[in-house]
Structure 1
Amino acid sequence: MVVATVAETKKQKRALSGVLLFDKSTGFSSNQALQIVKRLYRAEKTGHTGTLDPLASGLLPLMFGEATKFAADLIDASKTYRTKVRLGFSSNTGDAEGELTKVSTRALESITLDEVKQVCAQFVGEIQQTPPMFSALKKDGKPLYEYAREGIELDRPARTLLIHQLDVMKVEHNTIHGEGSCTIELEVNCSKGTYVRTLGEDIAKALGTAGYLTELRRTAIGDLKVERAYTLDALKVLGESETPFDALDAVLFPVDALLGSLGKVELNNEFARRFSHGQRLPLSLVDAKPGRVRVYGETSAQDVNTEVSNTAFKGNSRFMGTGILETDGKGALLRPDRLIQVNL
């Protein structure tokens, strides 16, 4: 019999699955945050989606185990941010980390709340946005920010984006180092690929001046909200309890928390078994909406009972993965898309 030493036990990785809503603070990257939490959980397999720069804080979903298979599902989800834009100065990076240059094109004290609201209204809906040079987009396999650090400016095609909502929370006038200053606070809900730094710069330009981001906080990704997220300090407190892993695991959301926008199909034992083996299933669904769906299998034998809805399953079921539902008005065919390991 082989007995593990204390050191080996401490290093042992755990094969757990779930989603942690993490509230990242400023000062470290998304990957650094992931590695810290991974060590805290002693997790075997981890991943994250929706990268936040070191300057940014807020919601960063971290995936464990089987949940990593669905990380890409959050990429297409809309994002909500709270941000502050200081007017009258430009930054070569678009944020407080860059080199600042004063721009005296108009009197900042004349900027009013009504004017900012009118300008921001022009940015709601479809917009064209040119990605910043200080970004991770690549040209010939090299990130744009590396070109920018070398003083090289490249042509970047504008991209079509969607600003779902843009609210002006506050316009604040104050004095910094003896000079008048104006900062606008915004909340924006936008499509994937939106650079809030660039949006802030474009709004400032439309106001007749320049601007850069001083704060950026992500408050939501799709239906996931930062109010339900845990900070690193809060996780460390759980990790110091009498049963640390029980406490830490209790705050994880199930794997399917990433897929709340998808429809739902529920299968009985026999259909679930066949689905888990990669078989296509003919279903008696007439009014079902075709497309990608969440699939759940019952853990006890019952009559075939399938439905598509967004309501919680009231019986004893287990998430199996996603499927593609094809319909012809007379019935439906469910084929496996992305499966997770389950024991039915």
Structure 2
Amino acid sequence: MQGFLNLNKPAGFTSHDCVARVRRMLRLKRVGHGGTLDPAATGVLPIALGKATRLLQFLHQDKAYRATIRLGIVTSTDDLEGEIIASAPVSGLSLEAIGAALSMFQGKIQQVPPNYSAIQVQGKRLYDLARTGEKIEVPARVVEVFKIEILDWRPGDFPELDVEIACSSGTYIRAIARDLGAALQTGGTLAGLIRTQSSGFCLVDSLSLDELATQLEQGTFQPIPPTDALQHLGALTLPVTAAQRWCQGQRIPWDKPDGGVINSPLRVDDESDRFLGIGHLVESDDAHLLIPQMVFEPI
């Protein structure tokens, strides 16, 4: 079995827990995931099955979320799983002021990841360093928020804001909640998170673990084919003889490509629309060459 599973991760499960559960359910050794989700978060968790684990690096990187931000509270983890560091009722805060502050988080922004995160500093995970009490200065990094939109606003002593966020890979929604609270001088933390899109997969098409179990019992489960998951890549189709040579690791001469595809991953198919793997084009002295980067299906 090979391909992808669009899993709707339940709350309380780590991404690793989900991989372990799917591995047991499918009786499959090679299972991996793309884009870690915090245990409290739910939503799209792309799961690769069999040889498709080698394709995780080529999946679409952008993501989208629905998040609930609670103002008036600061926690050690920037979400409700952590210790409350500060808490004070919020007064006099308008939705207009929140909208103005949110605009600061759209586009390319500098973001400091939460102390409790899987990012490595000095060869160690930040959450491991945080648990030991070690103080580490985490460097800011550039991420991009394509869209941030207010969905709902519930006033009160500790008001809550529902937002929809589309962003680049590596963006921490917990950090946006924390930094919004700082910008409003109220404090803020993440109170809920659902990932609605990841790696080209959407929540509406996802399967829960229970739904997966039912499909397996009924014999109806079908992995998502690699071709469907890699639609965002440019594609080249090889005739039979060239496809055989390419799958044997040979470089294939290719006509001059359109701009923008040199040295970029390309989906390689044969004339029967069979997915063969990932290649890339390079310039040689007098031609362009299609080089195998990952052969998925030998001929």
- In 2, the alpha carbon distance for the partners of 1:322 and 1:101 equals 48
AA of the residue aligned to 2:55: F
Residue in 2 aligned with 1:126?
108
AA of the residue aligned to 2:230: L
Deviations 1:140-187 (A, max 9, x none): 33222222122222111111111111111111124xxxxx22001111
Residue in 2 aligned with 1:154?
136
Residue in 1 aligned with 2:245?
274
- In 1, the alpha carbon distance for the partners of 2:16 and 2:169 equals 19
AA of the residue aligned to 1:226: L
Rg comparison, structure with higher value: 1
| 1:62-211 alignment, distance < 5 Å | 62-74=47-59, 77-104=61-88, 108-174=90-156, 180-211=157-188
- Indicate conservation of the 8 Å contact 1:113/1:171, yes or no: yes
- Indicate conservation of the 8 Å contact 1:286/1:331, yes or no: no
- In 1, the alpha carbon distance for the partners of 2:139 and 2:86 equals 28
- Indicate conservation of the 8 Å contact 2:248/2:298, yes or no: no
Superposed CA RMSD in Å reads 2.0
- In 2, the alpha carbon distance for the partners of 1:147 and 1:45 equals 30
Counterpart pick for 1:221 among 180, 198, 223: 198
Structure-1-length-normalised TM-score = 0.81
- In 2, the alpha carbon distance for the partners of 1:95 and 1:286 equals 48
2:228 counterpart of 1:257: yes
Residue in 1 aligned with 2:210?
233
AA of the residue aligned to 1:92: S
AA of the residue aligned to 2:275: F
- Indicate conservation of the 8 Å contact 2:121/2:138, yes or no: no
In 2 relative to 1, CA 29–276 (structure 1 residues): closer, same or farther, beyond 3 Å? same
- In 2, the alpha carbon distance for the partners of 1:286 and 1:325 equals 8
In the TM superposition, residue 285 of structure 1 has moved relative to its aligned partner by 4.3
Deviations 1:279-335 (A, max 9, x none): 11112345364232100013xxxxxxxxxxxxxxxxx2210001112358x863211
In the TM superposition, residue 210 of structure 1 has moved relative to its aligned partner by 0.5
AA of the residue aligned to 1:193: G
- Structure 1 residue runs of 5 or longer lacking an equivalent are 1-15, 175-179, 299-315
Partner secondary structure for residue 55 of structure 1: coil
- Indicate conservation of the 8 Å contact 2:46/2:199, yes or no: no
- Indicate conservation of the 8 Å contact 1:116/1:168, yes or no: no
AA of the residue aligned to 1:276: C
2:64 counterpart of 1:52: no
- In 2, the alpha carbon distance for the partners of 1:103 and 1:46 equals 42
User: Relative contact order (C-alpha < 8 Å, sep 6+): which is higher?
Assistant: 2
Residue in 2 aligned with 1:295?
268
- Indicate conservation of the 8 Å contact 2:58/2:265, yes or no: no
- In 2, the alpha carbon distance for the partners of 1:322 and 1:73 equals 9
- Indicate conservation of the 8 Å contact 1:19/1:257, yes or no: no
Number of residues paired by the alignment? 297
Which shows bigger deviation, 19-28 or 257-266?
257-266
- Indicate conservation of the 8 Å contact 1:66/1:255, yes or no: no
Partner secondary structure for residue 39 of structure 1: helix
Structure-2-length-normalised TM-score = 0.93
Partner secondary structure for residue 265 of structure 1: strand
2:13 counterpart of 1:35: no
- Indicate conservation of the 8 Å contact 1:112/1:171, yes or no: no
AA of the residue aligned to 2:134: I
AA of the residue aligned to 2:15: S
- In 2, the alpha carbon distance for the partners of 1:196 and 1:287 equals 37
- Structure 2 residue runs of 5 or longer lacking an equivalent are none
AA of the residue aligned to 1:87: L
In the TM superposition, residue 196 of structure 1 has moved relative to its aligned partner by 1.0
- In 2, the alpha carbon distance for the partners of 1:209 and 1:153 equals 24
In the TM superposition, residue 239 of structure 1 has moved relative to its aligned partner by 2.6
Query: Aligned residues: percent identity?
Result: 33
- In 2, the alpha carbon distance for the partners of 1:139 and 1:254 equals 36
Deviations 1:22-68 (A, max 9, x none): 00010111111111111111123111111111111110011111211
